[in-house]
Amino acid sequence: MSILPIRGARHLRRFQQITRVLIRHGFGELVDLLGATPAFPLVRILRRRPFLGPPQRLRMALEELGPTFIKLGQILSTRPDLLPPAYIAELSKLQDTVPPAPWESVRALLEAELGTPVEEIFPTLAPEPLAAASLAQVHPATLPDGSKVVVKVQRPNIEETISVDLDILADGARLLQTRTPLGEIYDLPGIVEEFSATLRAELDFYREGHNADRFRANFAGEPYLYIPKVYWDYTTRRVLVLERICGIKIDDIAALDAAGYDRYRIGLHAARMVIKEVLEDGFFHADPHPGNFFVLPGEVIGAMDFGMVGYLSRRTRTDLIRLYIAAVQLDEEAVVDRLIRMGVVRGSVDRMGLQHDIGRLLRKYAGLPLKAIRARDVMEEAMPIAFRHRLRLPSELWLLGKTLVMMEGVGLKLVPDFDMFAVSRPYVQRFLREMAAPRTWMPSLIRGVEEWAQFLEVLPRTGMQLLTRAERGELELSLRHQELGRALIYLDRLANRLALSILLAALIVGLALLVPAFHLAERGGLVTVLVVSGFALASLLGLWLVVSILRSGRR
């Protein structure tokens, strides 16, 4: 039987399916670690020789396993601190386009959510979707007042499917945490828990609607960006109704030129949008692929799909600006110090090695004009460093990096010599002025003064208590080393093995001396049998001990 907990019949069927797919794509070792193969002995015949590399086989396996695993792969493609660059590049190719769900099941879900026949709300509603993804699909429709809208509908039964997959992933992560060396490097249950929260949030269309409203409020004074209206009267947790915007896809260069649009102005507006999201709002669109942005008359950009967003606190934005300044000054030591303050660098990191790698990266771009530096190139250079030194950047920062790379690609397609840094310079300068303004640093200074005042207030009383306990001999100092327990276990095993070796050696030598001393070969009888048997048993134990030592050395 499998040692992975199985929570019910549906979980068992799905677990069997996952096992078969993993084995078919050459990941039988992972199945063995989960202890699943003994439960399905016949499935081993499906194991085949993998002709593709592991990254390609992983992508194919995730695509075959469906929505949950496709989303998992897409999230992992933004985490170069978890996977090597080859896996990141391959998982970035995951496509979230699937055949649409049958119209009758979609219609039934709509009527169940809205509580009324579809025709009473949408005089026209096309059964054929404009787009179909793993979690939802989008249908064009009109409202009774003639307004053109799009209806985003969750795929039927997708929540149940994802719930089962997330349960299996959580159980597998807890098992791998204790059975593999990965558990000593990563918090696998924590990673799955974070992914689970992200995916469940993406299934909540109320949240997506509020994201759209927040973007609209943030850009209320910016005429270059248009956010569609949310029709809350017809929106539920599984149905989202948005104003339909019609325009030209932002990367359709031929259509933009034919319409007479100024591509430089479009690129300028796209850059301003991203910079404002990151530096001013701390709230950014985290899925900026070209299909989510359309160009409207006047070079206005219309945005769609607000299910995946990112958040940056003011402190994080301040850290990023200071990190950027240290990098521009080619000060690798200051870069490492900033990363440590941000909590990115683990305590056991090879600081000199990290500093050397960062210095080499900075020197590669030294002297180049900023407009010649590409975010994609920097990310590709930084990913091996992050993986090698196990840097733990928050997922929001990796998501931000991917967002900047995608938007840079759109901008370069629109204007090949577009200078993102030139556009960002006024925003950076404004942010630096705000950092220096008293209203920015004064609250933290006041909090620090209050904390020092509280400390000084309790210091005399607490100090007297400590001195009194020390005089009475009641003060105990307790030290705990994180790896001390494991070291003691190893020492205990070593001592036991050494003692056993000495005892076995003494037993073998003693028994060997008994044979000629008592002329046991001539006397025969029970004594001879016992002595010879003891000698043979001691020799076998000695041989077992030697094999055990050799095997532990190989491990």
Q: Which of 14, 5, 2, 9 is closest to 68 using CA atoms? A: 14
End-to-end CA distance of the chain: 27
Q: Which residues of 130-168 are buried (b: 16+ CB within 10 A; e: fewer)?
A: ebbbbbbbbbbbebeeeeebbbbbbbbebeebbbbbbbb
Structure tokens at 64: 């075959």
CA 53, 81, 397: angle at the middle one, nearest 5?
A: 125
Report the distance separating Cα 240 and Cα 209, nearest Å: 7
Please confirm, yes or no, whether 287 is among the known catalytic residues: yes
| Long-range contacts, 522-529 (Cβ 8 Å, 24+) | none
3-state SS string for 412-464: HHHCCCCCHHHHHHHHHHHHHHHHHCHHHHHHHHHHHHHHHHHHHHHHHHHHH
- Amino acid letter, 441: W
Q: How many CB atoms lie within 10 A of CB 412?
A: 15
Q: At what angle do helices 332-341 and 351-364 cross, to 10 degrees?
A: 120
Contact 65, 21 (CB under 8 A): yes
Which SS3 state, helix, strand or coil, does residue 284 take? strand
Q: Which residue of the set 165, 287, 305, 319 is catalytic?
A: 287
Beta bridge partner(s), residue 296: 300
**For the chain, what is the radius of gyration of the CA atoms?**
32
Beta bridge partner(s), residue 311: 283
Look at the block and give the residue holding tokens 């990673």: 191
* Catalytic positions: 287
